Amino acid sequence: MTEPFKYIGKKRRTKEDPRFVSGRGRYVADIALPGMKHVALVASPHASARIVSIDAKPALALPGVLYVLTGEEFCAATDSLATGVDAPKLTRFALANGVVRYAGEWVAAVVADTRALAEDAAEVVEVEYEPLPHVIDAERAMRPGAPLVHPAHGSNVILHKKFVWGSVDEAFAKAKHTLAFRATWGRSSTVPIETFGVAAQWDPGTEILDVWASIQMPKYPDQVARALRLPGNGVRVHYDVDVGGSYGVKRGLKHTVLAGYLAKKLKVPVRFIEDRLENLRGGDMQGPDRFFDMQVAFDSDGTIRAWKIRAVDDVGAYAGRAPFQLGKPITAICGPYRIPAVEYDATSVLTHKTPQEAVRGFGQSPTNFAMERTIDRVAAFLKMDRIELRRKNLIRSDQFPYTIPSGSTYDSGDYHAVLDKALAAIDYPALVARREAARKSGKLAGIGISTCLEPSGGNSAFEVLLNPKNETTTWMDSCLVRVDLAGSITGVMNTSSSGQGHESLVSTVIGEVLERDPGTVRVVRADSLSALPSNSPVGSRMAIMLGGAAAGAAKHIRETLVAIAAHNFECSPEDLEYRGGDVSLKGAPEKKLGWDQLVEIAHRKFHRMPPGVEPGLQAKFVWEVPTGGGLPDAEGRVQIYPCYSFETHLVYVEIDPDTGKPSLGRYVCGHDCGVMINPDIVHGMTYGGIAHGIGAALYEKFSYTEDGQLASGTFMDYLLPSSMEVPALAIVDHCTPSPLTTFGQKGSGEAGYLGAPAAIASAVNDALAPLGSAVDTLPMSHLAIWKAIHLSRHPERSEGSPSAGS
Amino acid sequence: MSEALHPVVVEVNGRRREAHVPARLSLVDWLRDELRLTGTHVGCEHGICGACSVMLDGEPVRSCLMYAVQANGHRITTVEGLAKPDGSLSALQDAFCETHGLQCGYCTSGMLIAAQDLLNRIPDPTEEQIRDAIGGNLCRCTGYQQIVEAVRLAAERMKE
Amino acid sequence: MLQLERPDTLPLCRTRGFLALSYGLTPGPPLKSAPFEYARAASLAEACDLLARYGGDSKVLAGGQSLVPMMAMRLVRPAFLVDINEIDELKFVVIETDFCRIGACTRQMTIERNDWLGARVPLLRQALAWVGHAQTRNRGTVGGSLAHADPSAELPLAARVLGAKMTLRSSKGARTLDAEQFFTGPMSTLVRPDECLEEIHWPVWNGNRTGSAFTEIAIRHGDFAMVAAAAQVALDSSDRCTRAAFGLGGASGTPLAFPEIAVRLVGTKLEDKAIDAAADDAAAETDPGSDLHATKEYRRHLARVLAARALREARDRAVRQ
């Protein structure tokens, strides 16, 4: 591949790493405000109950206790958080008012001098409950007569949409074969090592609420202000707080409204940092909890004619944006395959469980898992090689741009090339030989494969598709570039980061455009009152959107410098050449105005400025998502995300047949996200996504007991994979530039996670295939794998259901 | 009733620190909130994630599983104490930057403590030894790959 | 020993979520300990005096790797903590002819790095390889793990299989308990509130053809075992078993050893068939619980598989000597 870039795509240390390795990050828990008070919460022990009474007096009598806030006061003084789908009767507040709808829901907040004292007091707040019937299973919750989580809504279903794109019934009628099965994705999440935290301070003089938070969320300041009944400019969110990991879930809206209310009411700075137990249970950050009833129609040669996907998602007791996680996958609803007809039936169901929140990929990884299980099952049915079947159905490189039945157009790709590269990198024939040898020696061994898409760019047109009242059609992002009098360059971004290396991104892009060393470009963050519009780093969008905005602003600077030189040389800009910040006359390099001279003119010598050009040297650029802005047509077709990265995963697994214990061996991911701005950052996020996918596939689940209690409420029971469970990982890069973006880049923040669970499920099922067993439910726990082995050997025995777990 | 305070004298990153602490104050809370050494992070407070790892008398321990009062008379090294005497990055810290062995930075201080202990004991560790040494430190960003590479790189550079 | 209600019930999951449920505790907010009084004992005598004074309201704080998180979750809330970490007389390893004595507050890492001990009581080092992580073994103590008596912890199982003896000290004197008596249930021992574990005697098998093995299935490396198995065997010059011991952890309310079954192996050549039969018999004696990670039936199955593996591995090591 030719390398037209000077800095983009080159090995380059990040701007952020040095401060983190020396312990100089600044996270929300590092913010110490003078006189700051601390919050602890009283949480519901019941999945569903009426609050009969709350007695805070014993708590208020303890030393250091300032205040106890209950839902009655809080809900009267604030407005409900927004529900994304059209369900106006659903209200959601940080504190329960009269009714609790899940075990762990916050009932009261205690403010005290220290967190320990607040916890002492929270223990003695006396709450009397009258338990009510509960439902924690989505299918049961949909049946008539099920307890209603929000009786005012009239049903536990808060979203049901059915789309038919193309001649689905005809395809099913004409196809030689059909298959149907259920794939189930267990409730897991990204679970960053930093919990959510927020510090808030009300200034009665300026009437501004200052907020520091570990936040990754679009429209956060607006929503906080609205819930607190403050004007939009009454909340100032400080984005210069390092976020200790998010991957989608750092959306502590309710935490912030609570802390903001307390800070304003008590006129003291208030900090609330979730502890790990609160985070897992009442932090509202659990991910999709979904089953897919898949039907597929195909011919004997492996051609897939259509599929029908019925997805039912258990969203928990309240819903913010979480139901939209059924919508994003519509933008890649046929995966990387040529499938001309698709039916999609999506239902979001309320249950008495912890509310769901956005998780890396926003519903795409579960959907990819279900689609890839389908492909593997078709291959098994036809006794066809899984790779050949994929090759046959993958969209070919000469077919791009490729419009799928649901209306999105895939920008570019070469799926076959990436697959071939990955197969070569892992030495596929040798891997097959290894599997065969392992099987001969009595082991269960399997090879997993997945070929998956990673939609990127974050144009959330699924919102209007699922809720016609919500006509949001822009998901812009912005950047401001300033050059100061000394000639130093500063890029100003307008959101916080949680490890994605945005400062490196912005400095590299600005350096590239202005041909200045990115190491000298400083990147800072505006606060929300001084910020340009941003929709935060969701949906694998920042390389495209922030990168594009930074490039756009830097280009303005460059054009301004050329214009200044043209004015001073009394020539046309076309006669000039920009090189490294200096501007010279083409063919006469001695006739030159250097960077420092141009900067000085812009800042000090208005008499030498071209007419109509602003003095100083700064430029903003606000960019709309490429291909964005459209509304759905009558059939529900709309372009959602603009760019489509592709990943193929190959993984080897061996399973101890006597214990069910899986261990992962070689792992190769072939990845094409277009032009990489910083390869180390892209690779790092991909490796991390794979590890996260390993967790979702084998280890991680929020399990609930029959009585609605979260059973995996600690890190001893919610199991994040360690370096001992994640094998050595290898990535093979491929580059198909996107025609839609500034440098040909696509998104990659969700890479790895979108294909790893599917690949691992493929590997485990390949290992189980000789037994005639299959596992279509994630996570594939040791127990689940053992059961699959055990039942294949002793089909007459079926184990009694465990006393715990759902 | 107010809690009794216990006098402690602790050497932290080579500096003598004196304080009076309530018995229930964890070592990590003391380091972070009182000494303002915020490079050590709190991840789970129940001894699983390793984010709060510090050196106690030169050996890594979880500072959420110790009370500050127990550190009396001991020597603590936190991430802020890992740099070279001139303040520049240690070989290990520099290697983490070189391989991008971190993203959000939250688990990083604990990782550095665990990995530094490994290199102190085993200057030329195998990949398996590296994975075992950081096995008690959870990272959610990196998949551990570039961390393992960083430790290997640091070991190689320290050999030179 | 933790003072929890209904200590007869095996915890359904590792920590609070389930401990709270299974013990009927109200799940509360905390991860900061409730207040307590604290004293650092300078000597064993002082520790015993403090325990005598505060009795049932006090707890001994050793490495704290299990106690501190449970206090943070307020599942245990002693009024008084007696910190024994600075008592030098509780930190020692003495290797005698027929046994090794280990001071109760000796760090697990000290044991792990002691090659001499590793040669004399190899099962101890083999068990420690499965215990937690470097950071927890640097701080965790041998006595602390035994006194905490988690039914799936590794050191209690090793103690049970080898027939270790625990010496308990109080201001009234000392007494010694056999591992068999010592463990009475999940997180429950015969240690009285005024007693402090002083030292542990680990028997040494002096034959020159002994082998031992420790194996377990945990979901992640370093986690508590779903089931663990330990075995030690001695062979004569013709590979005939002269002595055998084995046991299972995580398969009942306490670590189990099976001396009656093991004795049937004596005189055999530890053929796979004999080992499988012993493992079957042992598994039949287990009474495991169900939780979200493993059902009773799965645990019992693992018990059989792992007991056989440990015995085989121990045999193979002995044969090689």
The number of angstroms, rounded, from the C-alpha of B157 to the middle of its chain's C-alpha atoms is 21
A458 pLDDT tier (thresholds 50, 70, 90): confident
Q: Which residues, including other chains, have CB under 8 Å from residue C177's CB and lie 6 or more apart?
A: C165, C166, C168, C190
Question: CA A667, CA C157: separation in Å to the nearest integer?
Answer: 36
Single-letter residue type at A436:
E
A301 pLDDT tier (thresholds 50, 70, 90): very high
Best residue in C293, C297, C301, C306 to probe A by mutation, most A CBs within 10 Å? C293
For chain C, the chains sharing at least 3 beta-carbon pairs closer than 8 angstroms are A, B
C208 pLDDT tier (thresholds 50, 70, 90): confident
Q: Which residues, including other chains, have CB under 8 Å from residue A531's CB and lie 6 or more apart?
A: A239, A478, A494, A495, A525
Question: CA A736, CA A647: separation in Å to the nearest integer?
Answer: 12
Interface contact flag, B47 C136, Cβ < 8 Å: yes
Q: With the CA atoms of A190, A192, A193 and A199 taken in that order, what torsion angle do they form, in degrees rounded to the nearest 10?
A: -150
Backbone angles phi, psi at A449, to 5 degrees: -140, 140
Interface contact flag, B60 C135, Cβ < 8 Å: yes
For B:48-87, CB contacts with A below 8 A are 48-49, 51, 78-80, 82-83
Longest Cα–Cα distance in chain C: 62
Question: CA A564, CA B40: separation in Å to the nearest integer?
Answer: 50
For tokens 């701005």, name the residue: A677
Question: CA B136, CA B134: separation in Å to the nearest integer?
Answer: 5
C9 pLDDT tier (thresholds 50, 70, 90): very low
Residue A520 exposure: Cα atoms within 13 Å on the Cβ side: 13
pLDDT (0 to 100) of residue C175: 98
Interface contact flag, B135 C40, Cβ < 8 Å: no
> Is-contact A660 B76, C-beta < 8 A?
no
Closest-CA distance, A233 to chain B, in angstroms, reads 29
Single-letter residue type at B155:
A
Average pLDDT over residues C80-91: 98
Average pLDDT over residues B122-133: 98
pLDDT tens digits, one per residue of C108-152: 999 999 999 999 999 999 999 999 999 999 999 999 999 999 999
Helices A679-694 and B145-159, axial angle in degrees (round to 10): 120
Best residue in C32, C36, C71 to probe A by mutation, most A CBs within 10 Å? C32
Question: CA C91, CA A640: separation in Å to the nearest integer?
Answer: 66
Strands A477-483 and A444-456: unpaired
pLDDT (0 to 100) of residue C207: 85
For tokens 């990265």, name the residue: A645
C2 pLDDT tier (thresholds 50, 70, 90): very low
Interface contact flag, B41 A726, Cβ < 8 Å: no
pLDDT (0 to 100) of residue C22: 43
Closest to A632 measured CA to CA, from A476, A460, A477, A475: A460
Question: CA A168, CA A174: separation in Å to the nearest integer?
Answer: 10
Closest-CA distance, A695 to chain C, in angstroms, reads 11
Closest-CA distance, A45 to chain C, in angstroms, reads 6
pLDDT (0 to 100) of residue A192: 98
The token pair that represents A322 in the structure block: 């979480």
The token pair that represents A18 in the structure block: 């040095």
Considering only the beta carbons, identify the residue of B4, B22, B70 that sits closest to C85. Answer: B70
Cα separations in angstroms, A118 against A66, A114, A307, C76? 9, 6, 54, 18
For tokens 């950081």, name the residue: B134
Closest-CA distance, B141 to chain C, in angstroms, reads 19
Closest to A3 measured CA to CA, from A457, A671, A512, A732: A512
Single-letter residue type at C224:
F
> Is-contact C70 C90, C-beta < 8 A?
no
Alpha helix ranges (H) inside A110-200: 115-124, 138-142, 168-174
pLDDT tens digits, one per residue of A511-568: 999 999 999 999 999 999 999 999 999 999 999 999 999 999 999 999 999 999 999 9
Q: Over pLDDT 70: what percentage of chain A?
A: 98
The token pair that represents A706 in the structure block: 């029959």
pLDDT of C14 above 80: no
Best residue in A195, A658, A698, A780 to probe C by mutation, most C CBs within 10 Å? A658
Cβ neighbours, 10 Å, residue A232: 12
Counting one residue from chain A and one from chain B, the pairs whose CB atoms sit within 8 A come to 187
pLDDT tens digits, one per residue of C92-117: 999 999 999 999 999 999 999 999 99
Q: Over pLDDT 70: what percentage of chain B?
A: 99
Closest-CA distance, A775 to chain C, in angstroms, reads 17
pLDDT of C162 above 90: yes
pLDDT (0 to 100) of residue C4: 43
Q: Helix (H, G, I), strand (E, B), or coil: what is residue A276?
A: helix
pLDDT (0 to 100) of residue C29: 56
For the sheet with A235-238, list strands across it: A65-70, A106-112, A37-43, A270-273, A197-203, A208-213, A235-238
The single-letter DSSP state of residue A613 is P
Considering only the beta carbons, identify the residue of A722, A786, A800 that sits closest to C220. Answer: A722
Interface contact flag, A723 B144, Cβ < 8 Å: yes
A662 pLDDT tier (thresholds 50, 70, 90): very high
Average pLDDT over residues A769-791: 96
Considering only the beta carbons, identify the residue of A722, A786, A802 that sits closest to C221. Answer: A722
Average pLDDT over residues C246-251: 97
> Is-contact A280 A714, C-beta < 8 A?
yes
Which residues of chain C make contact with B70, given a CB cutoff of 8 A? 40, 61, 64, 83, 85
Cα separations in angstroms, C179 against A62, A217, C102, C204? 45, 56, 15, 15
E strands along chain C, which residues? 37-40, 58-61, 80-83, 93-95, 99-103, 165-170, 173-178, 183-185, 188-189, 196-203, 210-217, 227-235, 241-249, 256-257
Interface contact flag, C68 B67, Cβ < 8 Å: yes
Question: CA A744, CA A673: separation in Å to the nearest integer?
Answer: 9
Backbone angles phi, psi at A366, to 5 degrees: -60, -40
Closest to A68 measured CA to CA, from A202, A262, A211, A203: A262
For A:660-689, CB contacts with B below 8 A are 680-681, 683-685, 687-689
Cα separations in angstroms, A542 against A418, A547, A553, A804? 24, 6, 15, 42
Task: Say which residue, A2 or A72, is predicted with more confidence.
Answer: A72
Single-letter residue type at C315:
R
Q: What rounded mean pLDDT belongs to chain B?
A: 97
pLDDT of C12 above 50: no
Element (DSSP H or E) covering residue C276: helix C272-285
Question: CA B44, CA B41: separation in Å to the nearest integer?
Answer: 10
Average pLDDT over residues A154-179: 98
- DSSP annotation string for A160-182: EEEEEES-HHHHHHH-SEEEEEE
E strands along A404-443, which residues? 409-410
Cα separations in angstroms, B72 against A151, B10, B12, B69? 57, 5, 11, 6
Tell me which chain B residue has its CA closest to the CA of residue A498. B104
Interface contact flag, A691 B98, Cβ < 8 Å: no
Q: Helix (H, G, I), strand (E, B), or coil: what is residue A536?
A: coil
Question: CA C52, CA C252: separation in Å to the nearest integer?
Answer: 32
| Length reported for chain A | 806
pLDDT of A29 above 70: yes
Tell me which chain A residue has its CA closest to the CA of residue B132. A724
Alpha helix ranges (H) inside chain B: 27-29, 91-99, 108-121, 127-133, 145-159
Q: Which residues, including other chains, have CB under 8 Å from residue A796's CB and lie 6 or more apart?
A: none
Q: Helix (H, G, I), strand (E, B), or coil: what is residue A573?
A: helix
pLDDT tens digits, one per residue of C167-204: 999 999 999 999 999 999 999 999 999 999 999 999 99
pTM for this predicted structure: 0.97
Closest-CA distance, C49 to chain A, in angstroms, reads 30
Best residue in B33, B140, B153 to probe A by mutation, most A CBs within 10 Å? B140
For tokens 């830097």, name the residue: A554
> Is-contact A344 A309, C-beta < 8 A?
yes
Q: Over pLDDT 70: what percentage of chain C?
A: 91
pLDDT (0 to 100) of residue C30: 80
Please check whether residue A242 touches B, CB under 8 A.
Answer: yes
Q: Which class for C183: exposed (0-12), middle (13-18), buried (19 or more C-beta within 10 A)?
A: buried
Closest to A511 measured CA to CA, from A7, A4, A17: A7
The token pair that represents A799 in the structure block: 């184990």
Q: Helix (H, G, I), strand (E, B), or coil: what is residue A12?
A: coil
Closest-CA distance, B143 to chain A, in angstroms, reads 4
Please check whether residue B11 touches A, CB under 8 A.
Answer: no
Tell me which chain A residue has its CA closest to the CA of residue B133. A723
Chain C residues with CB within 8 Å of chain A CB: 12-18, 21, 26-35, 73-74, 217, 219-224, 226, 290-295, 297-298, 301-302, 305-306
pLDDT tens digits, one per residue of B10-23: 999 999 999 999 99
Task: Say which residue, A365 or C208, is predicted with more confidence.
Answer: A365
A442 pLDDT tier (thresholds 50, 70, 90): very high
Single-letter residue type at A64:
G
Average pLDDT over residues A466-486: 95
pLDDT tens digits, one per residue of A67-110: 999 999 999 999 999 999 999 999 999 999 999 999 999 999 99
C28 pLDDT tier (thresholds 50, 70, 90): low
C56 pLDDT tier (thresholds 50, 70, 90): confident
Which residues of chain B make contact with A14, given a CB cutoff of 8 A? 97, 100
Q: Helix (H, G, I), strand (E, B), or coil: what is residue A116?
A: helix
Q: Helix (H, G, I), strand (E, B), or coil: what is residue A651?
A: strand
The token pair that represents C199 in the structure block: 């030292």
Element (DSSP H or E) covering residue C68: helix C67-72
